[in-house]
Amino acid sequence: KEIKRYINELGNEGRLISMQMDELVSNIEEEAWLLYADYAREYSEEKIREIILALKRSTDEELLDIHHIVRLLGYPASAAASEEEILPRGYRILNKIPRLPNVIVRNLVDQFHDLSCIMIASIDELDEVDGF
């Protein structure tokens, strides 16, 4: 809101900034959803909605607290302290592939569990994925 106000004050000079801002934030909600789907401990649409609501209710201080974020994603707070590696499932990158339906993305993730396993899968293993 604050940036939009400044853009309005700039008048014609603010048009380029406005277009750049629109481009930057156009898919932010979808990207956020895919990010949570990649890293939430338990993936379900209901769980992702809960995470989003909890993040919206979080204070600025809580958003800067890694332990708070880790807990919201469903991991024990000790996971942040132990620097446990959490691998992405692959939803964000797979959704960038043109003509790859969401159903197949879901099937790939269900079959291989994380992006690194998908990347090293053989053609035969990929052929076994339902719908691929």
Which pLDDT belongs to residue 98?
93
Is 18 exposed, middle or buried (CB count within 10 Å of its CB: 0-12, 13-18, 19+)?
Answer: middle
Average pLDDT score over the chain: 90
Which pLDDT belongs to residue 3?
83
Query: What is the pLDDT averaged over residues 106-113?
Result: 94
If DSSP codes are grouped into helix, strand and coil, which group holds residue 113?
coil
Reported as a single tens digit per residue, the pLDDT across 70-93 is 999 998 877 766 777 889 999 999
Query: What is the pLDDT averaged over residues 104-125?
Result: 94
> Is residue 27 over pLDDT 90?
no
Tell me the pTM: 0.77
Q: State the Cα–Cα distance between residues 76 and 80, nearest whole angstrom.
A: 8
Which pLDDT belongs to residue 14?
87
Reported as a single tens digit per residue, the pLDDT across 37-61 is 999 998 899 999 999 999 999 999 9
Which pLDDT belongs to residue 81?
66
